[in-house]
Structure 1
């Protein structure tokens, strides 16, 4: 799957529908939202927009896709036809987009000029929308650019990162639960920034990717700092967890995806060099975003070379097929006996 600009293009975002049947993508340079069929990669439709698309997402029912872009607009698009149904204009470019796990809330986060111009006022907000009516149901003041948003598994709170800050907000009251700041690099303090964030599926931990290759780990419920790691020395653009929370993935300005076992990442008795990389997957180009489907068996990746790639994630238990076969055989025999 690829955008029409080829290697001159860049796919900024790619995400599975909840049933894993489709992948929606958003690009820069050709500024296009596309929906592909997962089974064979056939493009279902494409809709070109006026500006660079930063993030795309599905609604929970799969009937709509949503895009946010540099022209300050969030658009709600018919997932079957590509027709833009609604557009909401904001006061700044929009960088982030996330759907709550129950599918009722879409959160979008603005950019802030303060990140590049310290003399300007920090202005970025995160705005929450009801996905049935598309009415605004609340907003929080983030200050720094809201680069990425991640909801807790129970949707009780969401974490937002960008600039020097990570903030966790209560979903119902929009009150601040906790916040943390990036550790400043003494040589290049202006480039010490949080880039991406994901709460683990089990709800226990938060991983944050930052400049210079740093991965930060926190306890999700309290924001308590655990440690940070660095395996590449270059910007981390995207992070993800496997569905069982046993591995954390990171990628960005180095052409690999690194898998690190969660138990090793959180073991503070291991120094940075001693933390092993469980798997290092080579890539065709820098990675902008990655997303597991609901089961955790498929991974889609969005690349700066204009490609969208589909991967299978195989279990690391070599006996899983034998166990599955034995279970299926027993079930078939029981069904036969009942007949």
Structure 2
């Protein structure tokens, strides 16, 4: 749904069959890209709501970002990939594998780097369960490789942002702490 911020009126809406996880406007404000649980990226005309393009991924999509110069779109998948797409014809430029899921992505102001955050899935064979650890990484776009890793997140990074001066990276992660001795079976606390 697109809304007029001045008066709250609805500009247009398009109903999809699955959850929309993220959306981003093009730098010129003429298009809006959406992605979500149906594995699809959709490009919409802001003025009319017309579907301009759509393409499928290999898994659900949790993050999307547009480069500041408008030449690239990146999508983050639950399968652990960050995809780089051409911002005009939507052809794939690169597929980058980092972590197990990408929840949040942002280009640096100069579009030379891409910050990605999400989780890394690890199989704990002793406890016979899957554990998820949060991560954030900085990828050099030209070299297509991770140049910095940020550690210490207890669980999945759900959102990250780079400060306007590009000096600080902020991450927001899901952290679950439980004192199981005081809880009933099946009950957990989230601070």
Taking a change above 3 Å as real, the CA distance of residues 183 and 148 of structure 1, as seen in their structure-2 partners, is closer
Paired position in structure 1 for 2:36: 69
Paired position in structure 1 for 2:101: 145
Contact 1:144 1:165 (8 Å CA) reproduced: no
Give the superposition deviation at 1:207.
0.8
TM-score by length of 1: 0.46
Paired position in structure 1 for 2:138: 168
Which structure features the higher share of strand residues?
A: 2
Structure-2 separation of matches of 1:183 and 1:109: 19
Give the superposition deviation at 1:153.
1.4
Q: Aligned pair 1:108/2:78, yes or no?
A: no
Q: Aligned pair 1:195/2:162, yes or no?
A: no
Structure-2 separation of matches of 1:105 and 1:173: 15
Structure-2 separation of matches of 1:86 and 1:143: 28
Would you say how many aligned residue pairs link Structure 1 and Structure 2? 164
Higher RCO, 1 or 2 (CA under 8 Å, sep at least 6)? 1
Radius of gyration: which is bigger? Answer: 1
Cα RMSD of the aligned pairs, angstroms, is 1.6
Structure-1 separation of matches of 2:97 and 2:162: 21
Paired position in structure 2 for 1:158: 114
Structure-2 separation of matches of 1:131 and 1:210: 29
Structure-2 separation of matches of 1:206 and 1:180: 9
TM-score by length of 2: 0.80
Give the one of 135, 141, 161 matched to 2:91: 135
Give the one of 24, 44, 58 matched to 2:25: 58
Structure-2 separation of matches of 1:63 and 1:147: 25
Contact 2:25 2:33 (8 Å CA) reproduced: yes
Give the superposition deviation at 1:193.
2.4
Query: CA deviation digits over 1:38-76, x for unaligned, max 9?
Result: 211111100011110000111122221110010000011
**5+ long unaligned stretches in structure 1:** 1-33, 113-123, 185-191, 214-232, 235-339
Give the superposition deviation at 1:177.
0.7
Question: Stretches of 4+ moved more than 3 A in 1?
Answer: none
Q: Aligned pair 1:209/2:172, yes or no?
A: yes
Q: Aligned pair 1:35/2:33, yes or no?
A: no
Contact 2:153 2:173 (8 Å CA) reproduced: no
Which structure features the higher share of helix residues?
A: 1
Contact 1:60 1:104 (8 Å CA) reproduced: no
SS in 1 for 2:63: strand
